[in-house]
Amino acid sequence: MTTAEIQAAVKAIYEQQVNAEFGKGRYALFFKPGTYGTPEKPLLIDVGYYTEVVGLGRSPGDVVINGHVNVYNRCLGTDDKGNPSNCIALNNFWRSASNLTIKVAGGKDCQAVTNFWAASQAAPMRRVDVNGKFSLMDYCSAGPQFASGGYIADSRVTGTDVVVSGSQQQYMIRNSEIPGWSNGVWNQVFSGVKGAPATSFATTGPDGKPANPYTTLPTTPVSREKPYLYLDAAGEYQVFVPGVKTNSSGVSWANGPESGGKTLPLSGFFIARPSDKVATINSALSAGRGILFTPGMYDIDQTLLVNKPGTVLLGLGLATLTAQGGAVPVKVGDVSGVSLAGLTIDAGPVNSPVLLQIGNNGGAGGNASDPVALHDVFFRIGGPGVGKATTSLIVNSNNTLLDHIWAWRADHGDGVGWSINTADHGVIVNGDDVTATGLFVEHYQKEQLIWNGERGQVVLYQNEMPYDPPTQTAWMNGALLGYPAYKVNNSVNAHQAWGLGSYIFIESGADIHATHGFEVPKKPGVKLTSLLTVQLNVGHGTIDHVVNQTGPATIPPADQKEGSTVVSLKQYPE
């Protein structure tokens, strides 16, 4: 295909998807190994909702884009002169880019020679090699706007300019390489990132205000990269499932294709389409086949049962599974090595007890050398329409890896209201030795996250409390005001977490309080580092303490920089 043909195709998809926040279109743009565009005639790819841009090489260098792969602010209107207005990035969700090299070229005005990825939750970059300027804030489309919740893994940025974080309120970057980082707003976490800034969370800068809120771990405790589809030298499609790493840093592909994983031929997969019945997909699962969900919307009226070790469920183009009739869309048994990746799971109008369950109730599944892993799995309660689910994700299996999860009870869209899109909890972890890297849980009506397992590890946790409690009486946890964003059960003896933020915004106008953002047992083995609470709108909504009875009440942020902080658990009275 010529550059002009590709440009026309991607432009048509973008124009359809740029404002389709709750639309039904799902697209994957696959690039076979090769070079696309030239510095003189660059390929400019703008990425809208439910669009995945993917290279099909074994390594990111096998697919080279001379040009851009951009996410800009979404402009919702025009001013009286016809210029774009009401441009925002806070709702730039549900899109991704992976497994390719971007040699930044082309563009006009302030867009020239800078690749923009002004995205918020559920918009990951993985296995991307950016050669040139890279900004996570769009300062072109009607000026900078806040973005929230980004995630980058196994990626590299080369050049002399630092990565521009700009207006990103919080960000997670894992096992990557960067030339530096420009700034932070509330919470920026680096785990196993070469070139990352030193930890400076809650320290004071020369202006007397908090310095950049960085939390840096030199290595990632436990990780497994996301499985990916590729074309081998013979032109055959394969799926590569990376192996488990402990205490790692940098990209997995620095010295060529990574080793230690396994290659699965496409013949071992059932290629699912939205028209397929659940019973047909379950037959393939029971026969030991993986599932490749092609882009689209899938109605799930009975549970997809994953009971074979090593099964891979890989969604393409943000494939979406919607519960029907109160069904539990997916259950994984007490088996090892299962990977679920690239899937969005929606609640339906009839309440589901859970949307995804990992391991049987009371089971002892889980394997440290071959764990169950979730990558880019997103949950929605409301938004596209009425949705109800008691809990979005329950993890019973030990050693499970949660690598970029967004569990979202919708605060806007269709089917939204305190008694309409009902949901108690986002995530409940019962298994031991579970590790989460990039855990985003928002707006649930009771405890957002409950952690019952031992030796859990969380690297970045981002939360917003529910926007819509109508009264304080409607949002009470016994004698406590409201519910915590993050609760570790009192029976837990060991738990560790880094980079935790909870924010409160009340749109009902009621005076709503939460007793604390985080609730944990006061035990030597429970260690939290870099905690933050923020009041987002003046006069409505207060988190009275950061963690238990420690940390001051939230105050409105000045210049979006200040919040209430607790640097570490060591500040506790033991």
* Residues 553, 535: Cα–Cα separation, whole Å: 9
Residue count of the chain = 574
512 CB contacts (<8 Å, ≥6 apart)?
A: 469, 472, 475, 482, 504, 506, 540, 541, 542
* 511 alpha carbon, distance to own chain's centre: 31
Q: Which residues of 188-225 are buried (b: 16+ CB within 10 A; e: fewer)?
A: bbbbbbbbbbebbbbeeeeeeebbbbbbbbeebbbbbb
User: Can you list the positions of beta strands (E) in 383-521?
Assistant: 389-395, 401-409, 425-429, 435-442, 449-451, 456-464, 476-477, 480-481, 486-488, 495-504, 513-514, 518-519
Has 464 been annotated as catalytic?
Answer: yes
Indicate the DSSP class of residue 276.
S
Contact 389, 407 (CB under 8 A): no
* Residues 485, 278: Cα–Cα separation, whole Å: 35
Q: What is the CA radius of gyration of the chain?
A: 22
From 52, 258, 464, 519, the catalytic residue = 464
- How many degrees, rounded to 5, is the angle at CA 150 between CA 148 and CA 153? 170
* CA 326, 447, 475, 380 torsion-angle sign: negative
* Residues 277, 264: Cα–Cα separation, whole Å: 24
* Residues 362, 343: Cα–Cα separation, whole Å: 26
Count of beta carbons in the 10 Å neighbourhood of residue 132: 16
What are 315's two structure tokens? 């969604």
84-88 and 74-78 strand pairing: antiparallel
Count of beta carbons in the 10 Å neighbourhood of residue 49: 24
* Residues 15, 161: Cα–Cα separation, whole Å: 31
Start-to-end CA distance of the chain, whole Å, equals 66
Contact 39, 105 (CB under 8 A): yes
Phi, then psi, of 467 in degrees rounded to 5: -80, -20
Element (H, E) at 11: helix 3-17
Active site residues: 464
